[in-house]
Structure 1
Amino acid sequence: MPQKREAGLADRSRLSWGKVPAIPAALTLLLLFLAAFAGIFSYFLVQGVGQTSRNIEQRSAAAAQIVATNAYWIAQVAQQTLLRVDVALEADLTGIANLPLALEGLPENAEVYVVDDAGSTIYATVPGADAVSIADRQYFIAVREGAPYYTSSLLQSRITGDQLFVFSKRVERGGAFAGAIMVSFPVSVLESVWRSLGVEEPSTISLVRDDGMLMARLPPTDGLVDLSELPLFTEYLPASPTGTYYSAASPVDGVPRVVSYWRVEGTNIVALASVASAHAWSELNGAVVAVLVIVSPIILGLVIGSIWIIRLLMRDARRGRDLEAALEANTLLFREIHHRVKNNLQSVQALVRMQNMPDPAKRDLQSRLAAMAAMHQHIYQHDNYSNIDAHDFVPAVAGEVVRAYGSPVELRYDVAHLIVDRDHATPLALLLSELITNSLKYAFPTGEGQIDVSLLPVGATGRARLIVRDNGKGMGDDIPGSSMGMRLIKGVVAQMAGTYSFRTENGTIFEAELALEVSGHPSG
């Protein structure tokens, strides 16, 4: 009785112990899940922040490049117009009749002025320009004092009241200052660029002279703006002609933006694109809140169902262990079957060797049996019962055929990692056996030589090109088309949905295109 009581206590202890791990396992998995969710959410949040920041920077940089391209075009148009007008003017600046031809192709929003050495208007495309003096304008003073060209900062037209910027050129006649030519563009010339960028306000685009003076800005600003003391001109531009940085507050309106700059080649202009980031960050915050709202009930449901899921997993684990044991038993059975088949084929080889029959026939049988045995040995050694790697399979079969034939022939391989399915492994082994046996029988009278085997992918999936080449005496008439070997080759090639050919070229070359998988057969 005491022994039975002790045994009963031991059984109840084992049952209780079997139940205990489920609770800590469930809690552990639950905590791990929550920790994993927190980690994944944090990871994607960090990635989202980084991606949003990169997107803003990329948009800003791309916008700056587009603005720079248009600024370069504007500067080139102004430069060519100034030169054409200078050439069209006669020595005393009276060739006004030639100017309309020189101004062909000029953008509609650009205006041209010609003034004499006192700043009085000689010609202008804007009505009423002769009533306004430009003698005090810096773009006139600079060229009068010797500058060949000048680019103005942001100005307000005394005629129309519009904001504009001006390109001017010094005109000389007889080595002396004779006047100036100006081409002006309104700030609105950038509106098409602004619309094409698709950026939202309060983002801005600007043109700035390399001394820091603002030339143009959209949306427009009031009055002249000097940016020369900003980090753009004191730090970033001296270091690189292009770049992107974060501005905590704009000197014009105090809005934080991501600023990209691009020095326009061949000019004294810097193109800016300042993208406001508030909208992008607001979208990210909204996405985060939406994810939390959607995920919270899911997390709650997963927490509630975690214990039940763990119990199911424990039951499935037991079934999985049973299936693994069954699979292992089946694997051992298949391995034993292939091993026995290989041994039986080797036994048949031994019986063939003992038979009183012609040596050529005996060798043919032995090589074919060797190829079959090598195939089964390769399968059970690699535990691969469905798809075989041709890179390992072909040398195993070919090498075994040469060893069975007993010839000192060198084998060389160029075999890709191709899949050979179980329906094509045996035909491929037989084909290799027959081709190599033919080379060993007919190609090398002295017994020595070289055989190259190539199997590379071609065409559709599941097909390959097989080339078996020897450096023997050539095929000639030694292999009749009606021989058993040739009938076997034809049958195997047909079984593999292929075509083949023999030719003599420094030896015998066999070339065939074959299907190594069912998918390589013609669909029709």
Structure 2
Amino acid sequence: MVTKAIAGSARAAATFIVATFLVYSSIVGALIYQGFNAAQDRAESSVTSAAKAVKINTGWIVETAKQALRQMDFALGPDVEPDSPTTLTSIRASLQGLPSSAKAYIVSADGRTLYTTDPDAPNIDVRDREYFTGPAAGQQFFTSSLLTSRIDSSPIFTFSRRLERESVFIGVAIISFDAALLGDLLESLDLGPGSTLAILRRDGMLVARHPPVDGPLDLAQHVLFKDHLPNSDAGNYIVESPVDGEKRLLGYQTVPETELVTIASVGYIQTMDRF
């Protein structure tokens, strides 16, 4: 009888221990699950906010660049005389309010640089560049993809405007920007290691990115353009980067009244490591 009682007590104790362990494990598991989801929710909120910040900054740059290009067109006057100090002063004034990296150019229909605010710019024929060929073909306002400067080999992007007099194409007004300007914004957002910011055109061409990439990049076949943008103008998802292969949590936003999309991403592994 004593042996049976002891055995029964042992089984009851073992059952209690197992049940306690299972309850404890369930509680810990639920806490881990909730913590994991909370960490991912915070990361999603972070990239969404960052993508919105890039959208706001990009929208401001586009609108300010459009106004500056209109002012450059007006500064030329009806006769478009080159080498006028007054005109050059007006062109310089049109860049006020834009990032310090902004540089202005007026290029004639035959490829001559009539005016520039860049003192180091040689007179290079840019008629093969898309920022010239687009307006020359009839586009009133054009946003370039990421380019490599022929002056100093730095990554740049441009906005350009078709110039006409009496409905005749006479040249292109151009404003170029250093693509590195996203670096200052990324630093201010403090997204952590492995994070990126980017601007893309709706046709999939990269306009600017930080950290920088080597030359143009066509992402038209990427999941963002194939699956996400057709369904929503904003969102976030987990993806392996086509640039460096890193797994990231990415947020995207379309910029109203433009053909641009802004992106912010954080390293997924780095984010979960912190959790």
**TM-score, normalised with respect to structure 1:** 0.49
* Aligned-pair CA distance for 1:42: 1.4
* Aligned-pair CA distance for 1:272: 0.7
Tell me the SS of whatever aligns to 1:239: coil
The number of aligned residues is 270
Deviations along 1:330-371, one digit per CA (max 9) or x if unpaired, are xxxxxxxxxxxxxxxxxxxxxxxxxxxxxxxxxxxxxxxxxx
Deviations along 1:147-171, one digit per CA (max 9) or x if unpaired, are 1011000001111221010000001
Q: Does 2:67 match 1:80?
A: yes
Partner of 2:84: none
Deviations along 1:294-336, one digit per CA (max 9) or x if unpaired, are xxxxxxxxxxxxxxxxxxxxxxxxxxxxxxxxxxxxxxxxxxx
Distance 1:46 1:104, change over 3 A: closer
Q: Percent identical across equivalent pairs? A: 35
Partner of 1:150: 142
Deviations along 1:152-195, one digit per CA (max 9) or x if unpaired, are 00001111221010000001111101111111110111122110
- Equivalent in 253, 260, 273 of residue 262 of structure 1: 253
Partner of 1:91: 78
Deviations along 1:193-232, one digit per CA (max 9) or x if unpaired, are 1101212332211100010000111000112110000111
Alignment of 1:173-188 (within 5 A): 173-188=165-180
- Equivalent in 272, 296, 299 of residue 263 of structure 2: 272
Partner of 1:164: 156
Query: What letter is aligned with 2:125?
Result: S
Q: Is the 8 A contact 2:88 2:116 kept in 1?
A: no
* Partners of 1:258 and 1:172 in 2: CA distance: 45
Alignment of 1:370-409 (within 5 A): none
RMSD (Å), alpha carbons: 2.2
Distance 1:126 1:204, change over 3 A: same
Structure (1/2) with the larger strand percentage: 2
- Equivalent in 58, 65, 72 of residue 45 of structure 2: 58
- Equivalent in 218, 230, 245 of residue 237 of structure 2: 245
Alignment of 1:440-519 (within 5 A): none
* Aligned-pair CA distance for 1:25: 4.8
Q: Is the 8 A contact 1:115 1:180 kept in 2?
A: yes
- Equivalent in 11, 17, 24 of residue 37 of structure 1: 24
* Aligned-pair CA distance for 1:50: 1.7
Tell me the SS of whatever aligns to 2:250: strand
Q: Is the 8 A contact 1:202 1:276 kept in 2?
A: yes
* Aligned-pair CA distance for 1:254: 0.9
Q: Is the 8 A contact 2:248 2:265 kept in 1?
A: yes
* Aligned-pair CA distance for 1:235: 1.2
Tell me the SS of whatever aligns to 2:230: helix
* Aligned-pair CA distance for 1:22: 6.0
* Aligned-pair CA distance for 1:48: 2.3
Structure (1/2) with the larger helix percentage: 1
Query: What letter is aligned with 1:127?
Result: P
Which structure 1 residue ranges, 5 or more long, are not aligned? 1-12, 285-524
Tell me the SS of whatever aligns to 2:119: coil
* Aligned-pair CA distance for 1:73: 1.4
* Partners of 1:226 and 1:17 in 2: CA distance: 77
* Partners of 2:73 and 2:138 in 1: CA distance: 16
* Aligned-pair CA distance for 1:27: 3.7
* Aligned-pair CA distance for 1:76: 1.4
Q: Is the 8 A contact 1:85 1:103 kept in 2?
A: no
* Partners of 1:134 and 1:109 in 2: CA distance: 20
* Partners of 2:190 and 2:60 in 1: CA distance: 21
Which has the higher relative contact order, 1 or 2, with Cα contacts under 8 A spaced 6 or more apart? 2
Query: What letter is aligned with 2:75?
Result: A
**TM-score, normalised with respect to structure 2:** 0.91
Deviations along 1:265-314, one digit per CA (max 9) or x if unpaired, are 11111001121111122233xxxxxxxxxxxxxxxxxxxxxxxxxxxxxx
Which structure 2 residue ranges, 5 or more long, are not aligned? 82-86
* Partners of 1:198 and 1:60 in 2: CA distance: 11
Distance 1:274 1:156, change over 3 A: same
Q: Is the 8 A contact 1:246 1:258 kept in 2?
A: yes
Query: What letter is aligned with 2:71?
Result: R
| Higher Cα Rg, which structure | 1
Q: Does 2:98 match 1:111?
A: no
Partner of 1:468: none
* Partners of 1:220 and 1:17 in 2: CA distance: 76
Distance 1:43 1:114, change over 3 A: same
Larger deviation, residues 209-218 vs 85-94: 85-94
Q: Is the 8 A contact 2:163 2:173 kept in 1?
A: yes
